[in-house]
Amino acid sequence: MIEVRELTKRYGDTAAVDGLSFRVEPGHVTGFLGPNGAGKSTTMRIVLGLDAPTSGEALVNGRRYATLPRPMRAVGALLDAGAVHGGRSAFDHLSCLALAGGIGRSRVAEVLEAVGLTGVARRLVGGFSLGMKQRLGIAAALLGDPGVLMFDEPVNGLDPEGVRWIRELMRALAAEGRTVLLSSHLMSEMALTADRLVVVGRGRLIADTTVRELTGRYPTLEDAYLALTAGSVEYGAAR
């Protein structure tokens, strides 16, 4: 479970996250939605201990990340698929992460297989396409077999087969009883993948609900999203 409690993160005058509270429960795919700059990545970074909150807290299984005894076994995440050392092979990249996290080497082959990269495991990551890097990032998130998973825009750059694969993977992980938080701007895909939704705008909570509830009230999830966030779009083009 992920719990975000009264979380605020300021960068100078900008409140990237502003008094945000929500819970992400196990057994569901929870979509994390909001316009560009709404604070989704900042929230995920704080959950992972990569950024410190200005106030409030973010907990994984009731603990702050820094106090988790075996963090890679508790929570895995794909935040920025491009943030990998291009001079290493996929196998070596994952082996380094496994070593750092106290995870056996046999798991590396398992996660490479799970994301479909076994055939290119010895190739340098620098030559990978964006979609291959996304798959590698997902393999890294799965390394510790964690109960909590967060994915920031995982379908970015994936081909239609890859998009369907992500959808099925997210749903399978949730069906295993894991907590899955997924951010994406693709509403049609979110409607097919998520059960629950947390919608944020300008760092604040706009809605904490289900896909079913919103699609019952609006023709599509996209219509619902655009209506909910209409007052919170910061970087929209002039019309």
Ligand X SMILES: Nc1ncnc2c1ncn2[C@@H]1O[C@H](COP(=O)(O)OP(=O)(O)OP(=O)(O)O)[C@@H](O)[C@H]1O
Which residues contribute to the site for ligand X (CB under 6 A)?
11, 14, 16, 34, 36-42
Q: Nearer to ligand X by C-beta: 130 or 172?
A: 130
Please report how close the Cβ of residue 50 comes to ligand X at its closest, in angstroms: 10
Q: Nearer to ligand X by C-beta: 6 or 11?
A: 11
Chain centroid to CA 101: 20
Q: Nearer to ligand X by C-beta: 13 or 106?
A: 13
Please report how close the Cβ of residue 14 comes to ligand X at its closest, in angstroms: 5
Residues linked to residue 20 through DSSP beta bridges, in sequence order: 7
CB 85, CB 124: distance < 8 Å: no
Q: Nearer to ligand X by C-beta: 11 or 236?
A: 11
* C-beta pairs of 129-132 under 8 Å, 24+ apart in sequence: 129/157, 130/81, 130/82, 130/156, 130/157, 131/157, 131/158, 131/159, 131/162
In 3D, which of 126, 172, 133, 127 has the Cα closest to residue 149?
A: 172
The residues near 224 (Cβ < 8 Å, ≥ 6 apart) are 214, 215, 217, 218
Please report how close the Cβ of residue 152 comes to ligand X at its closest, in angstroms: 7
Helix spans in the chain (H): 40-47, 71-74, 90-100, 106-114, 130-142, 160-175, 187-193, 211-217, 221-229
Angle, helix 106-114 to helix 130-142, in steps of 10 degrees = 130
Q: Nearer to ligand X by C-beta: 139 or 199?
A: 199
Please report how close the Cβ of residue 25 comes to ligand X at its closest, in angstroms: 21
Please report how close the Cβ of residue 200 comes to ligand X at its closest, in angstroms: 7
Please report how close the Cβ of residue 186 comes to ligand X at its closest, in angstroms: 12
Q: Nearer to ligand X by C-beta: 36 or 188?
A: 36
